[in-house]
Structure 1
């Protein structure tokens, strides 16, 4: 490199450092920020954040700086909330102040402030109200969707029987089965497991969840502008999101061509009618692009999170055969073999209910939570958090609290059982987050997990390919999400 070029780069770095410190020192409210490690120019606290074990890194930082501390993800200021009391105080006691969605550059690039997950302000409130109302009208929490889940469970059983007790990876089958539940609500139909478009979409979801939960995803969060110029799988993940949107747009066009205002079939139909009602409102949030992004949000979230939870749950039961055996016994006693499990059974199945809760607690699927932000300068404990600051209410710190859950790193259904065997509720159970940004599909996810797990275990025994003590339950990847180790199993008819 020419000397002049080297000198130019050196001066540019020095200037960037100076600008960083001047801006950081001049921002209002910084003197009252929570404590935290000293950031470096440009990269912030990147060197202190272990990309492959971010939740563990934040745990160590909380031990040093307390339950509320400040970090810099690159140049972006972030406040982390660690432990039940801090998370509850923010998301529930001060729900309005912490209701905004924080910065997550990968999704900002795709969603551009639209949809239900990554929008803000009145736009978000209006879309969320519409989504919740429509989901309720089309089955969430109602008998109709319960019957659809039961029917899809029977389709899954057929595919499991087709394995003929031979080893297989359950990822694809579970993704298809779980996705068909949300597809019934948003698209008004299910897809066959060999439908090529559907199979392609499942591959995209699975790939993206892995990439975003890897070091590549974390690096994109820290340095989005820089990572746009660096080769890597994050570029394919961005293209995948565009492909999912195209999938949804094709469904929207099909719906538009067959729309009957007197016979609405699903979420897309309801949105299209709302668009027609507001076509003269220039500021309406009900646009084709917002429909595509909102539907993509529901499609992705309703597929990947629940299917990954169930896949992780089966792996846990392979390791803990004694737990699987007790669930079998409870299903046999309450449901029997002649009918499908139903939601009315759950109240009589405290052990199975506890197992499902413990799976969600143990895996802490979205350990850092989807980031929030404060809508204004917010006094919080002894600090002031400036408006717009990204907030990470760390869910794993609540789900793994050792005062509420003895030996939290161990899988133990007794965490959700009283001594007399009845089910024990816990305010610390927050796998779906809490407050105004709690997952819109929580009720559907809970119903689906219960019905699918009981249906599978009513009909099959899960058989590992190795000794249970050798099964590794630590996440393969841990960042945005906790991704289980890849595995195969056999299902043996009971």
Structure 2
């Protein structure tokens, strides 16, 4: 027998054995998992996933996962409670979060005016301004827009978000203990995150050397003070490692999610110029041109509020949601999820649920308006997740989106370089995140 034929038979026997082992394990495994395709040993269901749009591959089990909120132990509880309290305190401090956003929005307008109506890519214009809001909270100060370190950080964050959404990242996440030792593109995300952690660690060292416990300057100072308070507590989660990771989490999420939503929102408005015009009219009626927008204006601007909600709904920045681990055997709708099971709360399946949205794939602010044009809430609007796992920065993000959109559209009209009908709103990449398409536009002063 030729070598090729023998090899084919050998591989066939191996695959058959693997399938038998997999079926046996599935029949005898503790717990009763929701229905789904039988996983293969080691590679699981990887071959059945659509790697370009993994969210769609998971929709078969969305019923069993959506709405399940699990806490991953005491570490999560301690750090979340502290972070939420600290963010709220900074929001009520000498300068409120709203004032920080308003200030940064004005810096953004200055940069936009410098474009002189010429085409430009808004990516780093938006990431710089949004990042400075969260930077002022976690690091105690903003960055100059031309700061080379700042620009390098933003490029790393942007690249990290992109890499997290590639098929390589899915492999790395599933088999990190093996993949980190193998060469290939999957290692890029590891090195990017390590560089970001190093930056935060250096910031922590500076704060440690200049800390005044009676006058905390930022989130890092507050964490260091809490570390000192709990230094004799053996079960405390307040340590340098968690400080670096928590700070990076806030900085990363506070930069990329909001700036990506703004980038996507601009595309939707250029695609639907009639919507942009209605927002302009509402801004002129409620705010005018002689003062800067404020959060309290939102209650008098139902159409603009509905437009922003619809942008968030269709943008669906993190369609898979953030995965959580079941910390104990959990009963759910007749199924048993064994301890240690990873659960993905598929937010995208709710945001596009036809039971709640009349035409879920169509951009329509009417999804959030009643018959009298008043804003109406929708229980399926969950871009920030829900329950115990709802996003820490929800209030800040909602404020940023409203103030940035109204500030930009108060001063400028958006001009696409191609006809509205030819604008492609498809994500550049869809994986962990929906990456906005790359585009240029012109801003026309109003």
Band the TM-score falls in, shorter-chain normalisation:
over 0.9
Q: Which residue of 2 aligns with 1:108?
A: none
Counterpart secondary structure, 2:385: coil
Alpha carbons of structure 1 residues 439 and 356: separation in structure 2 relative to 1, 3 Å: same
Shift of 1:207: 0.4
Shift of 1:224: 3.2
- In the TM superposition, what are the counterparts of 1:459-474 in structure 2 within 5 Å? 459-474=411-426
User: Are residues 1:251 and 2:203 paired?
Assistant: yes
Shift of 1:436: 0.6
2:369–2:376 contact (8 Å) kept in structure 1: yes
CA distance in 2, matches of 1:279, 1:476: 46
Shift of 1:404: 1.0
1:46–1:222 contact (8 Å) kept in structure 2: no
Q: Which residue of 2 aligns with 1:55?
A: 55
1:182–1:302 contact (8 Å) kept in structure 2: yes
CA distance in 1, matches of 2:231, 2:175: 39
Alpha carbons of structure 1 residues 483 and 130: separation in structure 2 relative to 1, 3 Å: same
Deviations 1:235-289 (A, max 9, x none): 1211111111111111111111221122111111111111122223344211111
Question: Please, what TM-score do these two structures have when normalized by structure 1?
Answer: 0.85
1:17–1:42 contact (8 Å) kept in structure 2: no
Shift of 1:12: 8.0
Equivalenced residue count is 441
- In the TM superposition, what are the counterparts of 1:332-411 in structure 2 within 5 Å? 332-411=284-363
- In the TM superposition, what are the counterparts of 1:115-154 in structure 2 within 5 Å? 120-139=72-91, 144-154=96-106
Q: Which residue of 2 aligns with 1:27?
A: 29
* Structure 2 spans left out of the alignment, 5+ residues: none
Deviations 1:303-349 (A, max 9, x none): 11111111111111111111111111100110011110001100000
User: Are residues 1:443 and 2:391 paired?
Assistant: no
Shift of 1:435: 0.8
Deviations 1:155-206 (A, max 9, x none): 0000001111111111111111001111111111000111111111100010
User: Are residues 1:38 and 2:38 paired?
Assistant: yes
Question: Please, what TM-score do these two structures have when normalized by structure 2?
Answer: 0.93
Alignment RMSD, CA only?
Answer: 2.3
Counterpart secondary structure, 2:127: helix
Alpha carbons of structure 1 residues 14 and 223: separation in structure 2 relative to 1, 3 Å: farther
CA distance in 2, matches of 1:140, 1:205: 28
1:38–1:45 contact (8 Å) kept in structure 2: yes
Deviations 1:71-105 (A, max 9, x none): xxxxxxxxxx2xxxxx23x33xxxxxxx13xxxxx
- In the TM superposition, what are the counterparts of 1:58-207 in structure 2 within 5 Å? 58-59=58-59, 61=60, 67-68=63-64, 81=65, 87-88=66-67, 90-91=68-69, 99-100=70-71, 120-139=72-91, 144-207=96-159
* Structure 1 spans left out of the alignment, 5+ residues: 69-80, 82-86, 92-98, 101-119
CA distance in 2, matches of 1:272, 1:282: 16
1:140–1:444 contact (8 Å) kept in structure 2: no
Alpha carbons of structure 1 residues 141 and 212: separation in structure 2 relative to 1, 3 Å: farther
Shift of 1:483: 0.8
CA distance in 2, matches of 1:415, 1:324: 16
CA distance in 2, matches of 1:289, 1:224: 20
Deviations 1:421-456 (A, max 9, x none): 100101110000011111111001000111011101
Alpha carbons of structure 1 residues 380 and 234: separation in structure 2 relative to 1, 3 Å: same
User: Are residues 1:415 and 2:367 paired?
Assistant: yes
CA distance in 2, matches of 1:402, 1:331: 31
User: Are residues 1:261 and 2:213 paired?
Assistant: yes
